[in-house]
Structure 1
Amino acid sequence: MTRMNSAFVSAEPGLATTVEQRFRAFRHHVLATLRRDGSPRTSGLEADFRGGELWLGMMAGSLKALDLRRDPRFALQANPGEGTGMDGGDVRIGGRAYEVGDGAGDAETKAEYVKEVEPPQPFHLFRTELTEVVRTYVEDDTYLVVEIWKPGEPLRTIRRT
């Protein structure tokens, strides 16, 4: 499995830092998954960045976890925050999420992830592969700027007045 997060950080370290800061600015974000019938489901989620990678943790048996087990595609929208400031812009990540199992190496990963939850509860933990990162912001009160990163492609920047 290609680690798209590492590819993103290597290819666009400045944008990667901005994206991570936007997600760290607030605890809760919005995750979009696909239901069994193909329609979208949106849910609140706490995103976690560890070791330059994006991890998604969910309660055991949650519908969003079951969606990802069936179809790993997801979109994650950073919480825009209160008011209209949106320091760092509007950020969205698209990709695929793969569940961490209970094997020897995976059990250690899950144990590290759950350290902060007392008492520990059953949960699903997903590793992510990024297929797209989009940041939208206003520059000089004049331009709407959209930055788009996809694996294996150069950063694309669109400016609109």
Structure 2
Amino acid sequence: MVAWRDIEADAPQFAGRVRELFQARKHKTLATLRADGAPRISGIETQIGEEVTFGSMAASRKLADLERDPRMALHSPSVDPPDDDPGGWVGEAKISGRAVRTEEGFRVDITEVALTYLDGGLVVESWHPGRGHDRRVRD
């Protein structure tokens, strides 16, 4: 099981940027898989402490999705770039993994964390278990 504390220990600056983007606003987006394999997106509130956690209302469709197939992805709140400085976009972050049921809701067994922003091109930073942190710049 990979928890948020593992990413913070391995890549603290990267983890700090991702946390900052996730905490910029209250509502995030959760992607799950429907019974037929089609994607479903839902609004969600998350917490990032030593682990990434979230809850779900009883009998919700996303709960049924996660109980059937725990694969999921979280997307940080979207923030528009300043009108007068499109290059000043702060970026977006994503966390993928498997939802693990707890008494309080779910915790995420993390399989990937990604951070995308502008800095002399499109920067894509990512973290994967066993590979760690990587940074690529696209023109």
TM-score (norm 2): 0.89
Q: Distance in 1 between matches of 2:28 and 2:70?
A: 18
Alpha-carbon displacement from aligned partner over 1:99-153 (angstroms, at most 9, x marks no partner): 114xxxxxxxx3xxxxxxxxxxxxxx001111001101101xx211100110110
Contact in 2 for aligned 1:146/1:158 (Cα 8 Å): yes
**1:6-155 matches, cutoff 5 A:** 6-50=5-49, 52-81=50-79, 83-85=80-82, 88-101=90-103, 110=104, 125-139=105-119, 142-155=120-133
Letter in 1 for 2:60: S
Alpha-carbon displacement from aligned partner over 1:58-106 (angstroms, at most 9, x marks no partner): 111111111111111101110113x3257642111111111114xxxxx
Structure 2 unaligned runs (5+)?
A: 83-87
Identity, in percent, stands at 39
SS at match of 1:59: coil
RMSD: 1.5
Tell me the CA shift for residue 13 of structure 1. Answer: 1.0
Q: Distance in 2 between matches of 1:8 and 1:160?
A: 24
SS at match of 1:14: helix
Contact in 1 for aligned 2:117/2:124 (Cα 8 Å): yes
Q: Distance in 2 between matches of 1:88 and 1:53?
A: 24
Alpha-carbon displacement from aligned partner over 1:20-55 (angstroms, at most 9, x marks no partner): 1111110001110001111100000011123x2110
SS at match of 1:67: helix
* Corresponding residue number in structure 2 for 1:118: none
TM-score (norm 1): 0.77
User: Max radius of gyration: which structure?
Assistant: 1
- Runs (4+) of structure 1 exceeding 6 A deviation are none
